[in-house]
Amino acid sequence: MKNVTVSPDARWIAAISAAGIHVWDALTAQERVRIPEAVTRPLVGPWNQSVAFSPDGRFLYSFHRHERSVLVWDLRQL
């Protein structure tokens, strides 16, 4: 796991692994969401370099430094 981050309301924990982006419920430690398709892109190596929550905790952003790209994940839709 890398780039572990906590949502602003401390309800969710997100991190990146070789299996994708993971989101856990901070109170129960249950994994609630895994985004496996976010792991790699056809270009240079691992796609996700870091993740961050939106201020309201509704969205999760994943960033890639080489592509200078951002993907936005609506956690209510996952």
What is the C-alpha separation between 4 and 1, in angstroms, rounded?
Answer: 7
Mean pLDDT of 11-40: 87
Pick the CATH number of 2-77 from 3.40.50, 2.20.25, 2.30.110, 3.40.190: 2.20.25
Best CA proximity match to 46, nearest among 70, 71, 28, 19? 19
| C-beta atoms surrounding 34 within 10 Å | 16
Mean pLDDT of 25-45: 76
Quick check: 41 and 78 in contact, CB under 8 A?
A: no
**Residue 6: per-residue pLDDT:** 97
Q: Work out the widest C-alpha separation in the chain, in whole angstroms.
A: 37
Give per-residue pLDDT as tens, 42-66: 444 555 578 999 999 999 998 877 6
